Chains A and B, each alone.
Chain A
Amino acid sequence: MPGKSPWKMVAITAVIALLAAGCSGSSSDDTEVLPNSISIGIGEPPSLIPSNAVQVNASQVLASLFYPLVRFDPTNKPYMVAAQSITHDKSNKVWTVRLKPGFTFSNGEPVTADNYIDAWNYGAYGPNGQAASYFYSRIDGFAELQSEDPDGDGPEKAPQPQADKLRGLKKVNNLTFTVTLSEPFAGWMAVMGYDAFYPLPKAAFSSDGVLNKDFGEAPIGNGPFKMKGTWQHDDKIVVEKVADFKGTIPKVNGITWKIYQELGAQYADLIAGNLDIQTTIPIENLASASGDLGDRLGRSDSSSFSFVGFPMYLDKYKNVNVRRAISMAINREEMTDQIFLGSEKPATSFVSPAVEGARSNSCGQWCEYNPTRAKQLYTAANGPRDIKITYNVDGGHKAWIDAMCNQIKASLAINCTGSGLPKLRDVIAKASAGEDIGLIRLGWSMDYPLMENYLGPLYTSDGSSNYYGYKNSTFDSLVRQGSVANNTKQAEQLWNEAENQLVRDMPVLPLRFGQNVFGWSERVTDVTMDLYSKVDIYSVDIAS
């Protein structure tokens, strides 16, 4: 070791360090940005394969790359997009999809019925482990594509499923195919508007039923935009307009989906003018957002629904008046204004009113703040003196749970405590085991805009997210009748009747409906968002 010149060494180290830091010194806002293109902030999507995308960031990007069979108008009625027509037989069981001719994928391949059938078969095949596979579960033959692990977590492997193709999908000709459902369902057309029902080109598959390993890095879609390069993980996804696109043509020439880990950083970029659209203004910035953004701050309904379930399996909550009293003891407005700063709306129904057919105040007096009446009811019903609300601590629910408890305490003069468990899974496990965990905090976002998507999973006896043990056969049969009804009008009527049953039984306490609170830069205009918290990429435009 040369002991003589430590300073030289330090200087050299410093120089090397600075050179290393500066060597790729060119600016990151490089020349790749297309003229008339915009940037929208997202989080890193977990996957860009349509049947594996159950998350809003992925869904948002896919909406630019793919063209769905149907989209939804402002009243959430489905209308034809890539489909020419979608018809069904009398029983709502066999659905015929005709595609519009002339469409191609961005690699030039024509879009045919096979592309849909291949994609859906891939998504539904159990061993592929696709996150959105449950969307195909209504299609005939879905069960044969699944298999169950015979010993749970044990060493035995699950057997190969009986089939690898859905029996319910049949090609009629190049542009027509039929979908047979395992049982009639009037709302099937709306379901097919979801991401899982996009087609995949032949180029996506390396062999029959096997997806190319790198397909998700640069998906080839039938949409108005195509990938420019590949997915730059944690950095950005750039899409550009497809030349001669046959469908609705977006007004911007390209979109850079800028990937952020934190909403705070995204917001900083938005107000500094480095980002054009932020879809979620973080709650800690809401107070200053109207000052920062002025009229460039937008709000619209989203489909999310927050509620608290009553443990119907416990005797102390068996009396419906106890449940009604607790619901009336709560001031929903105060909660949404003070804690959520208006980013959520008070809920007074069991189904989001944004969905077609749903009413905004089905709950009526039972969801109105009325502490005097609540106390009378509660005392008469001899409700428990001590109630608990259980929630998962990783979701940031503590503040409002505590506020809700304080309201209950003040209105009913009983004791109320919030009890946090680490994960939602812990909450669900305890509820499913029938433990006394008190009231249960839960939330829901819809998959397709039908009342059934709230009523079915949340409240039917075998509903996938009915963790609070609500069982009512009248309700179940009304929901079922609605699903198999001949037309949507009749279905909605039956579903509304079902909701009335919920009002009588009050198995949960509706609290809040979500809102999209979004902001945009001076560069863009006509920014709107849908119920799924996605920006409408067709209407957004560059400000003149």
Chain B
Amino acid sequence: MFRYIVRRLLQMVITFFGATFVVYALLFAYVDDPYQVLVGDRPISDIQRATLEARFHLGDGFFTQYWHYLKGLLTGDLGESMTGRPIGDMLAQAWPVTIKLALLSIVIAAVIAVGAGVLSGIRRGGAFDTVTLVLTLVVLALPIVVLAPMAQLVLGIQLGWFPVTSGRDAGLYELLLPALVLGSLVVATELRVTRSSVAENLRADYVRTARAKGLAPKRVIGVHVLRNSMIPVITLIGVDIGVLMSGAIVTEGVFNIPGVGFNLFRAIRSEDGPLVIGFVSVLVIVFLVINLIVDLLYAALDPRIRYE
């Protein structure tokens, strides 16, 4: 177990540098003239350009720039955004609200998906199953760019059930609507996977054996079926956290939550290379850690899996 974790951590270091290198290279190709974005339509003066170039090392070659970035990263200095704000501060301000939002939506999505998925798996072909099938199809068909403003208009403005926008210090209630919208991105697939996994396991040999032994149906489903059915669902939830981070780009914009998605979108739009890299670096770490946790969770669910 311990050796497994160490091995994974070492792999993570390599993946991290690989991923940031690729992102850096892509950005290097994409960013054309970030100074011009700063001043709008007016041509920028030579001396302004030179000043900014020196500050962000943007006149240097690709590897020199990447080296500057790595050096900064290893010394804990993420640099400054093109508008002169320290990226470390921006990260510290943006992450809490995004983490809150992601956790809240993952919990909402998981509770709905597992609950409804198990029920429809048990009563396959029943009315409940059909209704959830239709509902999930509807949710799947609606892209978040439509769903988010629609939910805001109907539930926020017209019915007044939820606050229309959140802010940086949003509480549970303010984040509920964005979290619901965000959760709807993943709830459909999670539900379908739970359902088919439960349905399949219900027909497995060990379930028949358990039933033949005379175990109570509650115990058969609650312990034997569920635990085995959760393995693919947990994997999916792990991956979904990544989906939620990217889905947050739209949701955070619509509900005005100054989190990670919000910053990333702005950074890309304004060609703010240092800012993109700063946020992506942390996103990569989050992905890697979540994947590790998911893999470790397998062992908890399936005793046959052992990490050596």
Task: Give the B-binding residues of A (Cβ under 8 A).
Answer: 1-3, 6, 9, 14, 17-18, 20-22, 24-28, 30, 44, 46-47, 54-55, 126-131, 133-134, 146-149, 153, 157-158, 161, 216, 232-236, 259-262, 264-266, 268-269, 271-272, 274, 422-425, 428, 443-444, 464-465
Contact = CB atoms under 8 A, between A and B. Distances in A.
B165 A269 contact: yes
Contact of A133 (B45, B156, B168, B296): B45
A128 B50 CA distance: 10
A46 B83 contact: yes
Interface stretch (B6-14, B104-112, B183-191, B275-283): B104-112
A277 to B, nearest CB: 15
B69 interface: no
Interface in B189-210: none
A293 to B, nearest CB: 13
Contact of B230 (A6, A14, A264, A423): A6
A298 to B, nearest CB: 21
A265 B157 contact: no
B165 A268 contact: yes
B50 A24 contact: no
A235 B167 contact: yes
A259 B83 CA distance: 16
Most B CB contacts (10 A, CB to CB) among A3, A46, A133 go to A46
Interface size class on chain B is 35 or more
Contact of A264 (B171, B172, B254, B297): B254
Contacts of B106: 17
Interface in B69-119: 83-85, 90, 93-94, 99-101, 103-104, 106-107, 110-111
Contacts of B107: 14, 17-18
Contacts of B49: 149
Contacts of B301: 6
B94 to A, nearest CB: 8
B52 A235 contact: no
Contact of B172 (A18, A147, A233, A424): A18
B54 A157 contact: yes
A446 B153 CA distance: 37
Given A2-B300, A25-B172, A265-B256, A234 B46 contact: no
A134 B45 contact: yes
Given A21-B104, A134-B45, A6 B171 contact: no
Nearest to A52: B84
Given A268-B152, A269-B256, A131 B169 contact: no
Interface of B: 1, 32-33, 36, 38-43, 45-55, 59, 83-85, 90, 93-94, 99-101, 103-104, 106-107, 110-111, 149, 152-153, 156-157, 160, 163-175, 179, 227, 230, 252-256, 258, 262-263, 265-266, 296-297, 299-301, 303
B171 A27 contact: yes
A20 B168 contact: no
A47 B166 CA distance: 24
B168 A22 contact: no
Given A17-B106, A233-B85, A268-B164, A158 B42 contact: no
A342 B94 CA distance: 38
Nearest to A216: B84
Nearest to B96: A24
Nearest to B259: A234
A265 B254 contact: yes
5 contacts: A54-B42, A131-B38, A149-B50, A232-B168, A272-B156
Contact of B255 (A25, A146, A265, A425): A265
Most A CB contacts (10 A, CB to CB) among B47, B94, B107 go to B47
